[in-house]
Chain A
């Protein structure tokens, strides 16, 4: 099993979740996060004073997937989140040792 984590532009969320639903993903977790990548921060004038903004708001998606589905789902996310501009985000996946469905106690791929 794999955990796919994607940090994307907030405005790309709808396109990505739509594409994942079409690809058959039955569940995912969404968080509002902030951070910075290669583009760094920027300066902003607010109320007449200049501020340095170091972090940019992003959306983080987490999806638990079967090993066989993982490569395809990563491609779906990358394709649907891409605008081609700096700041589109990153997608990565990691191995998952154990998954338990809380309600039934079911374990392994059956719990996905």
Chain B
């Protein structure tokens, strides 16, 4: 098929995939919401939902342009090239594909949203919603979109002739067709989404500081069925993330679907095995976390490894993430819901293992160490970019609007103290127990007594 005519099959699959990836963020709200304590569940879920609200707008206004606009120095795209997603009409196809430009822009939007939402787990229970909203509004155009440009938009971490990889191992082809001889592989966002979000989570956890009671209180998840439901929906949505990143409905998408499934299966078992040996019991939180760790790790590798390679990659990622997660207690960093332990760690494991397990270029398939070197360099570069930019944004927000709610608000629980509602107000009494101004409701006029009011209740079933 001529790539420059509308491909309805590819377009249908990408519209479906975009919708699946968008579903991942409400799924993350369930996953994270179940992991926090009962008195903070609503704020936690709000952080994901506001990431959608803010991210969709920021991406439309300038995020897409910065990520995929015309290149400026290999670092960012020109923010003016598709400002407000203008500059192309609705019929235009994305260059070199059969998919409308707006479908591609929408698909990419959902990645920016989930990337930002993932970070919220590192700073659960303790930050002002307004600061979080401002953070998302700044982080997507200043950190996410530039990294997406560097890796996917032809920038310095891509496989272009002007990239870091080309500088290290030279180019093939000539003139306008020249590309890096050993191109970095990030199929669906191991660096752009997961290393990026994981590193940002680490920086924010450090800048914001630990929750009151971190290190002494157990702070166990309050609703594990919610966590399991979230993990299930994340897995389902991830098919759009990985198989959708093929850009069309073809064999590559099929390979990505299979590798995504088996790597995730292996990671769930890998995490469970570590728990069984170390803690003497397998937990539902462990299996749910293993699922996410596997999904993260296969993301950069989904079309580069074989199904068996994906099983190995997933098993390693699940076990490694399970071992890294408790280290936060040793170093005293309150990465509350393990964004670092799962997303940064899983993203690094997946990105680096591509260098070993890539069927066409990996070390274990006899293609030398060049891919491994490129993958490692790109992972380190992503860590640096994300760390530096996120730190700058976080410090500016700390000096201006401030991150933390007050200790009293935190002790009472952020839901009731900042949002005036409770996740599980089963008898309707929680809100009135606090020192809040009561809502005035005018009493309804008393209805005239009816015959039913005067008739005593039936007495047949007296139990005492």
Tell me, yes or no, whether B278 is within 8 Å of chain A by CB: yes
In addition to A26-B464, A45-B280, A47-B283, 5 A-B residue pairs with Cβ atoms within 8 Å of each other are: A45-B279, A48-B323, A51-B218, A103-B457, A112-B464
Across the interface, which residues of A come within 8 angstroms of B325, CB to CB? 47-48
Question: Contacts of B464 on A, CB cut-off 8 Å?
Answer: 26-27, 101, 111-112
Which positions 36-60 of chain A face chain B at CB distance < 8 Å? 45-49, 51, 53
Question: Is B329 part of the binding interface, using a Cβ–Cβ cutoff of 8 Å?
Answer: yes
By the criterion CB–CB under 8 Å, are B286 and A47 in contact?
yes
Number of interface residues of A (CB under 8 A): 13
- Min Cβ gap B318→A in Å is 14
**Are B220 and A46 in contact, CB atoms less than 8 angstroms apart?**
yes
- Pairs A–B under 8 Å by Cβ, sample size 5: A48-B279, A48-B329, A51-B220, A103-B457, A112-B464
Asked if residues A45 and B463 are in contact (CB atoms below 8 Å), the reply is no
Q: A48 to B457, Cβ gap below 8 A?
A: no
Known: A46-B283, A48-B322. A27 touches B329 (CB 8 A): no
Does B423 lie at the interface of the complex (its beta carbon under 8 Å from any beta carbon of A)? Answer: no
B279 / chain A contacts, CB cutoff of 8 Å? 45-48
CA distance A103 to B322 in the complex (A): 58
State the CA gap A45–B282 with chains docked (Å). Answer: 11
A26 touches B329 (CB 8 A): no
Partner of A26, one of B220, B286, B463: B463
Q: Which residues of B have CB within 8 Å of A51?
A: 218, 220
A26 to B463: give the CA distance in the assembly, Å. 6
Q: Does B326 contact A (CB under 8 A)?
A: yes
Q: Please provide the chain A residues from 16 to 46 with a CB less than 8 Å away from any CB of chain B in the complex.
A: 26-27, 45-46
Kindly list chain A residues whose C-beta atoms are within 8 Å of the C-beta of B220.
Answer: 46, 51
> Across the interface, do A48 and B278 meet the contact criterion of CB distance under 8 Å?
yes
Contact of B326 among A27, A48, A111, A112 (CB under 8 A): A48
Chain B residues with CB under 8 Å of A46's CB are 218, 220, 279, 283
Contacts of A49 in B (CB 8 A): 326, 329
- Complexed CA–CA distance, A1 and B325 (Å): 57
Chain B residues with CB under 8 Å of A112's CB are 464
In the complex, A21 Cα to B425 Cα: how many Å? 33
B346 → A minimal CB distance (Å): 16
A49 to B322, CA, bound (A): 11
Q: A49-B326, A49-B329, A103-B457 are in contact. Are A27 and B463 (CB under 8 A)?
A: yes
* Alpha-carbon distance A26/B464, docked complex (angstroms): 5
Most buried by B among A45, A49, A53: A49
In the assembled complex, the Cα of A101 lies from the Cα of B457 at a distance in Å of 14
Separation of A45 and B280 alpha carbons in the complex (Å): 8
Task: Give Cα A53–Cα B457 distance, bound, in whole angstroms.
Answer: 47
Nearest-CB residue, chain B, relative to A54: B218
Mark out the residues of chain A between 78 and 112 whose CB falls within 8 Å of any chain B CB in the assembled complex: 101, 103, 111-112
Interface residues of B in 266-282 (CB under 8 A from A): 278-280
Look across to chain B and name the residue whose beta carbon is closest to the beta carbon of A112: B464
- Closest Cβ of chain B to A7, distance in Å, is 22
Report how far A112 CA is from B462 CA in the complex, Å: 11
Q: Does B285 contact A (CB under 8 A)?
A: yes
Interface string of B449-464 (1 = CB under 8 A from A): 0000000010000011
Task: Decide if B218 touches A47 in the complex (CB within 8 Å).
Answer: no
Q: How far is A27 from B464 in the complex, measured between Cα atoms in Å? A: 6
Q: Report A-chain residues with C-beta under 8 Å of the C-beta of B280.
A: 45
Q: How distant is B250 from chain A, measured CB to nearest CB, in Å?
A: 40
> In angstroms, how far is the closest chain A Cβ from the Cβ of B463?
6
Please measure, in the bound complex, the distance between the C-alpha atom of A63 and the C-alpha atom of B364, giving whole angstroms.
Answer: 71
The residue on B at minimum CB distance from A27 is: B464
The distance from the CB of B428 to the nearest CB of chain A, in whole angstroms, is 19
Min Cβ gap B444→A in Å is: 25
Q: Residue on A with the closest CB to B324?
A: A48
Give the CA-CA distance A65 to B323 in the complex, in Å: 56
Contacts of B278 in A (CB 8 A): 45, 48
What's the minimum C-beta distance from B320 to chain A, rounded to whole angstroms? Answer: 13
| For the complex of A and B, 6 pairs with smallest distance between CB atoms | A48-B326, A45-B279, A51-B218, A27-B464, A49-B329, A26-B464
Residues of A close to B218: CB separation below 8 A = 46, 51, 53
Q: Which of A45, A48, A103 has the most CB of B within 10 A?
A: A48
Question: In the complex, A48 Cα to B274 Cα: how many Å?
Answer: 9
The answer for the CA separation of A48 and B341 in the assembled complex, in Å, is 12
Known: A53-B218, A103-B457. A47 touches B285 (CB 8 A): yes
Question: What 0/1 pattern do residues 322 to 338 of B give for CB contact below 8 A with A?
Answer: 11011001000000000
How far is A48 from B285 in the complex, measured between Cα atoms in Å? 12
A25 CB, nearest partner CB in chain B, Å: 10
Residues of B within 8 A of A111 (CB): 464
Interchain CA distance A26-B278 in the complex, whole Å: 49
Q: How far is the CB of B48 from chain A (nearest CB, A)?
A: 22
B236 shortest CB reach to chain A, Å: 25
In the assembled complex, how far is the CB of residue B280 from the closest CB belonging to chain A, in whole angstroms? 7
Interface centre among A45, A53, A101 (most CB of B within 10 A): A45
The answer for the CA separation of A26 and B218 in the assembled complex, in Å, is 41
Neighbouring A residues of B457 by C-beta, 8 Å: 103
Q: Which residues of B contact A53 (CB under 8 A)?
A: 218
A87 to chain B, nearest CB (A): 20
> What is the CA–CA distance of A83 and B464 in the complex, to the nearest angstrom?
30
